[in-house]
Structure formats: C-alpha cells, structure tokens
C-alpha cells in the first residue's frame, strides 16, 4: 500500500521567515495530495491541496509544489506568523470510484519564534 514520509519532524522558524515541509510518496498512482494543519485538541484542518495534473498551487502565503517524477511534494509558508505554529500533515490518495482514503505522513511540528 501507499507509504508517505514527511520531513522534518520539527521545524523552528523566525517570524517573517519562510518554512518548507517535504513529503515523499511510494505509489505512482497517487493523484491527490492535501495538507492539513492540526492545533492542539482539534481535528486536522485542510489548508491546501494539489492534484496530479498540476505542478504548483498557491493560496496567499501558502503554496504547494508537486514533482510526480520524483514522487515528492512540498508545502511552503511565506511571511510566517505566530498563528502558523501547529502540527502540519501531508497526505496522499489514489482518488477514484470506491476509493477516497488518505494516507498521512507522520507530521511536522512548526514553531514560529516571535
């Protein structure tokens, strides 16, 4: 089955700087790659996603890139703010009729230093 690896496990960034989190996946059939933000005591919140027919997607300070050949995708957060501090998870899925399950990475704890 699909295996998703995520690095780094922890990341500390000065406020205003950029943060990058990287993930690799094993199954070349994967076609959907969401990123979730999880704050303490809450469920994961979808922040951005990308599909395999797109190489890059941006939403304000957040961007995601996908390299299908290398089977890796990355989350980029620019101009970081204290409220960006949280645990971030990448995930991968082979979306299709009868299959929507997500396989998650192990998470990155991001700390923004004021």
Residues of the shown chain interacting with another protein in the complex, contacts defined by CB under 8 A:
6, 32, 34, 36, 41-46, 49, 51, 89, 91, 93, 95-107
**Nearest distance in Å: CB 52, another protein:** 11
Distance of CA 48 to the CA centre of its chain: 8
Torsion 52-57-59-61 (CA) sign: positive
| Cβ-based nearer residue to another protein, 43 or 114 | 43
Q: Give the whole-angstrom CA distance, residue 101 versus residue 17.
A: 34
| Cβ-based nearer residue to another protein, 31 or 78 | 31
| Cβ-based nearer residue to another protein, 38 or 78 | 38
**Nearest distance in Å: CB 90, another protein:** 9
Distance of CA 4 to the CA centre of its chain: 11
Q: Give the whole-angstrom CA distance, residue 10 versus residue 107.
A: 8
């Amino acid at each position: 089955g699909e295996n998703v690896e995520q690095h780094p496990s922890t990341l500390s960034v000065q406020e205003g700087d950029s943060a990058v989190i990287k993930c690799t996946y094993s199954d070349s059939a994967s076609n959907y790659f969401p990123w979730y933000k999880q704050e303490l005591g809450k469920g994961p919140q979808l922040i951005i996603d990308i599909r395999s027919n797109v190489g890059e997607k941006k939403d304000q300070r957040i961007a995601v890139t996908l390299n299908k050949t290398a089977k890796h995708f990355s989350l980029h957060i620019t101009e970081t703010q204290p409220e960006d501090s949280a645990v971030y998870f990448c995930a991968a899925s082979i979306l299709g009729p009868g299959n929507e399950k997500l396989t998650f990475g192990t998470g990155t704890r991001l700390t923004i230093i004021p």
